[in-house]
Amino acid sequence: MYDWLNALPKAELHLHLEGSLEPELLFALAERNKIALPWNDVDTLRKAYAFNNLQEFLDLYYQGADVLRTSQDFYDLTWAYLLRCKAQNVIHTEPFFDPQTHTDRGVPFEVVLNGIAAALKDGEQQLGITSGLILSFLRHLSEAEAEKTLDQALPFRDAFVAVGLDSSEMGHPPSKFQRVFDRARNEGFFTVAHAGEEGPPEYIWEALDLLKVQRIDHGVRAIEDERLMQRIIDEQIPLTVCPLSNTKLRVFDDMAQHNILDMLERGVKVTVNSDDPAYFGGYVTENFHALYTALGMTQDQAKRLAQNSLDARLVKP
Ligand SMILES: Nc1ncnc2[nH]cnc12
Ligand SMILES: [Zn+2]
C-alpha cells in the first residue's frame, strides 16, 4: 500500500519550510555558519522530538531555525523539501514560510525570500513541481509587527500568492489580525489561516468571517460545532489536515481517534499534509500511510483525499 500511496499524484497545501529542516541538514548548516548547538549529535536532537502540545514543539522549531542565515541556507532547505516532493509524487506544493522567525534574528527579509524563491523556480524547471508560496504571520506577535512584515514583502509581491497565520493558537484569535488580512486581500493576495488545531471552533468562524480565508489549516475541531460543519460542507471550504502532526502534538491521543475519514465521508473537503515533516516523523506519503494503518483508509478514500488536494490549490494549473 505504501508504494501505491506514494505513486498517487497529489498536492501538498500545508507545509512549513522551516519544519522540513531535517536534523542532518540542521547540523550541516550549523557547521557551515559556525553556530554552536545545544545538542551533541543528530540522534540526541531527534530524541528531543517528543512533544505534549503545540508550544513545546514551537519552542524547538524556532530554536532549530536559528541555523538558517544565508540565502544559500534557505535555498538548500527548500531544495531538500522539493526532492522529497519528487520522490513522493507531490506534483504541486503551496509551502509556508515565517519571515518574522528570521527577520527578528537579524536575517533580512530578502535574504530569506531570495533563497526560497530561487529553489521553487528551479523546482519547477528541473523537477516539474509547480508551487505557490504563502507568507505566514506569527500570531503570538502583534498585528503591528505583521503589518511591518507585509510592508517588507510588498516589493516582492510576485514571489508569493497568499498570506497565512501560524504559531501559538490559544489566546491569539484570528480577529487580532483582521486589518492586516484586509490589507493583504486588497493587495490581491489569497488568505489562509491555522484555526481549530488546538483552538476552539470560534476561531474557525473568525478565520472564515473576518479573515475571509480560502482554506482552513488543520480545522479538526470543526467537528465540535454542527453549524460550522454544515457551512464548511455547503461551501466546500478545504481543510488542510496533518495527521502525524495532530498525534505528535496530542491533538488526538492516537491515530485511531483521528476524525479525517469521518469528515471525508460527511462531505468535508479534507486534504492530507505533513505540516513539519522533519519533526513529526514523515512526509505526505507517511501521513497517508498512517491513515491506512490506523484507520483502514481504502484506496478509494485515498484517491478522493488526493483529488481534494489538487482541487484545493490556490494556484490553478
Ligand atoms: N502545526 C503548527 N501550528 C501552528 N504553527 C505552526 N508553525 C509550524 N507548524 C505549526
Ligand atoms: Zn501548520
In DSSP notation, 181-197 reads HHHHHHTT-EEEEEESS
Tracing cell 516539474 back to the chain, one arrives at 128
- Quick one: which ligand is closest to 249's CA? 1
ipTM exceeds 0.90, yes or no: yes
pLDDT at residue 276, as a whole number: 98
Say how far residue 140 (Cα) sits from the centre of its chain. 17
Range of the domain at 101: 1-316
**164-212 pLDDT tens trace:** 999 999 999 999 999 999 999 999 999 999 999 999 999 999 999 999 9
Burial of 208 (0-12, 13-18, 19+ CB in 10 A): buried
d(CA 236, CA 267): 8
**Angle subtended at Cα 131 by Cα 172 and Cα 62, rounded to the nearest 5 degrees:** 40
CATH label of the domain that carries residue 1: 3.20.20.140
Q: How far is CA 92 from CA 20, 180, 278, in A?
A: 16, 27, 19
Residue whose CA is closest, atom 6 of ligand 1?
Answer: 167
pLDDT of residue 165: 98
Q: Is the pTM of this model over 0.90?
A: yes
Q: Provide CB contacts within 8 A for 69, sequence distance 6+.
A: 29, 33, 35, 107
What nine digits make up the cell of 286? 507517511
| Residue-level pLDDT at 37 | 96
Ligand 2 centroid to Cα of residue 278, in Å, is 13
Q: What is the pLDDT of residue 295?
A: 98
Q: What ligand 1 atom has the least distance to the C-alpha of 276?
A: 9
Q: Where are the beta strands (DSSP E) in 154-220?
A: 162-166, 190-195, 215-218
Max CA separation in the chain (angstroms): 54
Number of folded domains that form the chain: 1
- 197 given a catalytic annotation: yes
Taking alpha carbons only, the member of 258, 140, 231 closest to residue 194 is: 140
CA of 16 to the centre of ligand 1 (A): 7
Give the number of whichever ligand sits closest to the CA of residue 54. 1
> For the chain, which residues score pLDDT lower than 70?
none
Among 21, 57, 287, residue to substitute to test ligand 1 (most atoms within 8 Å of Cβ): 57
Ligand 1, residue 166: give the atom nearest the CA: 5
SS3 286: helix
